[in-house]
Structure 1
Amino acid sequence: MGLSDDDWNNLGAYVSPIQVDENSTKKDCIETMISRAYDYLGTEYIVGASGKPGQGVDCSGLVMQALYAAGINPSPVNVIRHSQPGYEYESRNLFNSKKFKKISYKNRKRGDLIFYSNSNGVIIHIAIYLGNDKVIESWPNKVVVWPIKNSHRSRIAGVRRVFN
């Protein structure tokens, strides 16, 4: 795929530095999470990756890096496990995490996590809601801002709130 050995090692070992502190408000944390996701705009989509901006990331990897920057550790979901065979699609585990509050689609807010399913109801994708029916996501072939529903995926399985 044109990646060096160093790139492959870092695609599953990088953790975004925390960019908030104990004085940060909920709004600060949400904006930090979204800002960190924006750092990845245009970054190549690579399944199982969660590297540095510009290096390679998939949908779960993008969300994990945004969460880390906002001071949220989604453990047991983490970047090292995510890079291992069988854990490439951590969106399913994030969907089921007790760390995030279940929210109805109609009550979604900026900073919520949007989960998508396939026709069988299996969770296959995750994005960060920006407001105004837009999300930031890593979807083949790169990180983009798109409408929450579009021709590539429209089956929303649920919404989870990171910051209550």
Structure 2
Amino acid sequence: MEKSYWVLHKQNKDMEQDNYNLQRFIEAQDLIYPIVLKELQEGRKRGHWMWYIFPQLKQLGYSFNSKFYGISGIEEATAYLGNPVLAQRLREVSETILHLSTNDAVEVFGGIDSRKLCSCMTLFDIVSPDEVFARIIDKYFNGQQDKCTIKIINHLST
């Protein structure tokens, strides 16, 4: 019984520190992350995991998953990169697609998800410039950040 108390106490403490419920990403990724890496290494996304592997601003989506896994703004994106598991995974999948022979995001992700990738990379490039995110924008999007993401960030900052 005492052990259960401490487990619950630790979980509550972790939840208190996780103001953005970043655990939702870890739980979703834990189930599928090796498959995601394999798909990306093969150069073709086949599964339905974009929302929680390459998250974008929640204001850009309309579906339940877009809202649930959407990032609320710069602060949450910063917290996301501050989480060692999420930061490592985002950088790993980003490095994986950076090293593909193609520079066509539509070929890898399809039309809609390639736009989500640009949104995600734009968001995290704003939060953490000079990392892999900018290199993906350069390679796959001719150096053009997602205008809608920038517009929303600017609006949230005013």
TM-score by length of 1: 0.29
TM-score by length of 2: 0.29
Greater per-residue helix proportion: 2
Higher radius of gyration, 1 or 2: 2
Greater per-residue strand proportion: 1
